[in-house]
Structure 1
Amino acid sequence: MFERLRAMLIKEFIQVFRDPRMRIVLFVLPALQTIIFGYAVNMDVKNIPTAIFDRDNSSESRELAAIMASSGYFRIVKHIGSDDEARKLLDRGTVRLVLGFEHGFSEKLRGGETAPLQALLDGSDSNTAGVVMGYLARLATEYNGRLQSAYLSRLAGQTPRIGRVELASRAWFNPNLESPPFYVPAVITNILFVITMLLSSMAIVREKEIGTIEQVIVTPIRKGEFILGKTLPFVLIGYIDVFLISAVGALVFDTPVRGSLWLLFLATTLFLMSSLGIGLLISTVSHTQQQAMMSAFFIIFPAMLLSGFAFPIENMPEPAQWLTLLNPLRYYMVIIRGIFMKGVGFGIIWPQLAALAGIGVVVLLVAVARFKKTVG
């Protein structure tokens, strides 16, 4: 019995390890995924892109802005001069927070009054917005304590009227900081990527396994037509999935699409070019469906983590942030959240659309070229 079992085990190990690609999938890829996950999974909220709208332009307002910047939580990226500029920055996602100092901010503090500090937050990411509000409240409290100490030391023996900063925060796009408006668009992105990529990664390799690829090659059908015929059904499935999840989100979770449906259709088409192209590329380099599935999952999980789905990209180390630039999920996530929650138009999200188009064209061309080398 043990000899037979031993022989069977040896046979299975030889069968698994004789393929160099399988050895890479089993040992190299898990190590790479561990490194990527370790950098990408970061629950800390730091380096929050922040704009300053300082109408007061006083030493007190500049001091408080400097305290915010030196805390490590906020990164001042721009000083602005109008409400319209603040709206555009929040719409584009360039900043997550706009701090506003009204005229008379310093005078109220010096006169012992309450000086409001206005904070406009991007509420599309409810988790981050909640954490940011907590940071702001704590820093405002610390600043009030510093004011009190400074006035008391300056006016020893007297009872001065001490001003204080009062935080007045408002979350745009998601005033109640609810989770469904943030997660429903992300669910659409992830499900669409997983389904279309897995299906397309099996498309050609399945023909190889059952031996029908040679029969297809000798037919009059062109290779481009063959790939188009393989991918179009998955494109239609992707559109149906987007429609179904959007309908469920609107009816069950009250997260309707606030932007243009045609723009959503365009963005989905460009995203499908990328996901199907990656799947086809995997299918052309894989010999078995098992290899194709394992390779697809190796790409799927890092792509999700590096998309900004749950962890803000600005919190990741700089090498990981550069890596996200190659990730189509990153761009589609920004687009679909903007359309769902902010109702943004083409003028706001055209950079993400252009990036998706570029990635999709390149990946599809590489997949087609690889397919020709494989079967030609």
Structure 2
Amino acid sequence: MNLRRLWAIVLKELRQMRRDRITLAMIVGIPVMQLVLFGYAINLNLRNLDTGIADQAGTSASRALLMDMVATGVITPTLHVDTPEQLMTALRRGQVSLGIVIPPDFERRRFDGREAVQVLVDGSDTVVQSAAVQLAQVPLDTQPLRNDRPLRAGAAGSAGQISVVAFYNPERRSAINIVPGLIGIILTMTMVMFTAVAIVRERERGNMELLIATPLSSSELMVGKVLPYAAIGLIQTTLVLLLGMWLFQVPVRGSVLDVYLAAVLLIAANLSLGLLISTKAQSQFQAMQMTMFVFLPSILLSGFMFPFAGMPRVVQWVAEILPLTHFLRLVRGIMLRGARWWELWPEVLALLAFIVVMMTLAILRFRKRLD
């Protein structure tokens, strides 16, 4: 082996990598991104969970108990309602993760040592269930019911007076939460990657010359190229749904049509993002690199692997840009909580806005030219 010729090849590769800005960005960006995401953004200790309050007692003791619960840092009251039924509606719509019900006879129940408070939990997320258990450890106010009527020994503040009631997944099976999310993960990984290399592949294979000679407009060409992938995405959605129901007994409490509507929105969002990447990449390898740069934050920040509520506020703002974040809220709300798509309209609007912006940018960037 000639060391001089070997060194020449090494220098050639180093110079080529230096000219390839995307590869250089991946070399530096991937480890930095993983370090920041895992070290700063990922937090398994849930804090500040959106919580609804139904304080039907309205006494000083009930308010003191709520203040003690807020002091744990687990909850943040974001909704005040009058009845438990309103809390259940908010849970189904995904407006809150927890609901605290204090009945009108709270003082009497507390004095008698009976169950005095209920914590309603969206049990579709098992991590939220675990965090809610901390609230059951908050001691009730042990002050007497009346100054002239002392409390029975061991009555108020005894164990079991705050109960946690989990809905939608009382068995705490992780598959219930994971399988709906897998639809989004699979669609994100495949749809973005397939379309990211679509335009680039035409250039590398020399087919762009043939397309230039056709009367197709830029928008017609790009939409025509993504429609077959949309059909593939629906097939993948069907496979995950059938296997999830067959192998893991994952329920579909809402409308199956709503599930497919949510899948169509995510497919369109990912296809438009993939097309935008394909207008920037110069080769299929670059397109796959850029896809990975998008896929990694999506899987870590969307709430699929790690609880969204445990992330710092700034990271949550970044996660709101990702279409997978909104799809997970949609599909879990429909499949696990039985919500309808119009009850989750903020997520629908977010996905529609993402589709419009990404597709517009992709069409504006695409030029039916070889240069």
Pair in the same fold by TM > 0.5 = yes
- 2:24 maps to what in 1? 23
Sequence identity percentage: 33
What amino acid sits opposite 2:155 in the alignment? I
Q: What is the aligned partner in structure 2 of residue 175 from structure 1?
A: 170
Look up the SS of the partner of 2:95 in the other structure.
coil
Q: Give the equivalent residue in structure 2 for 1:136.
A: 135
Give the deviation of 1:374 after TM superposition: 6.2
For the aligned residue pairs, the C-alpha RMSD in angstroms reads 2.2
Is contact 1:284–1:374 with CA below 8 Å preserved after alignment?
no
**Partner in structure 2 of residue 103 of structure 1:** 104
Paired letter, 1:67 = D
Aligned residues: 364
Contact in 1 for aligned 2:129/2:166 (Cα 8 Å): yes
| CA positional deviation for 1:359 | 0.7
TM-score of the aligned structures, taking structure 2 as reference length: 0.91
* Residue 215 (str. 1) matches residue 210 (str. 2): yes
Residue-by-residue CA offset, 1:272-327 (whole Å, 9 max, x unaligned): 11101111111110101111111100001101222111223222111111112211
Deviation per residue, 1:140-184 (Å, 9 max, x gap): xxx15x73xx67xx99xx984632351222111112121111000
Alpha-carbon distance change, 53 to 282 in structure 1, aligned in 2, over 3 angstroms: same
Q: Which residue of 1 aligns with 2:219?
A: 224
AA of the residue aligned to 2:120: L
Distance 1:9 1:238 in 2: 42
> 2-side partners of 1:171 and 1:259: how far apart?
18
The 5-angstrom pairing of residues 234-249 of structure 1 reads: 234-249=229-244
3-state SS of the aligned residue for 2:244? helix
User: Cα 1:161–1:228, aligned 2, differ >3 Å: closer, same or farther?
Assistant: closer
Question: 1:40, CA displacement in angstroms?
Answer: 2.7
Structure 1 segments unaligned to the other structure (5+ residues) = none
For 1:316, the equivalent position in structure 2 comes to 311
> Is the aligned partner of 1:363 residue 2:331?
no
Residues 231, 317 of structure 1: alpha-carbon distance in 2 compared, 3 angstrom cutoff? same
C-alpha distance 66-374 of structure 1, shift in aligned 2 (>3 A): farther
Give yes or no for the alignment of 1:48 onto 2:49: yes
The answer on 1:186 being equivalent to 2:181 is: yes
The one-letter code sitting in structure 2 at the alignment partner of 1:35 is V
- On the 8 A contact 1:273/1:364 being kept in 2, the answer is no
TM-score, length-scaled by structure 1: 0.90
TM superposition shift of 1:4: 2.3
CA 222–79 in structure 1, closer or farther in 2 if over 3 Å, else same: closer
* Equivalent runs, 1:1-376 vs 2, <5 Å: 1-28=2-29, 30-110=31-111, 112-133=112-133, 135-139=134-138, 143=139, 147=142, 160=153, 162-165=155-158, 166-372=161-367
- Which amino acid in the other structure matches residue 156 of structure 2? G
Stretch moving more, 59-68 or 259-268: 259-268
Are residues 97 and 234 of structure 1, via their aligned partners in 2, closer, same or farther at CA, if it must alter by over 3 Å? same
Partner-residue secondary structure (3-state), 1:94: coil
Secondary structure of residue in 2 paired with 1:259? coil
**Structure 2 segments unaligned to the other structure (5+ residues):** none
- 1:308 match: secondary structure: coil
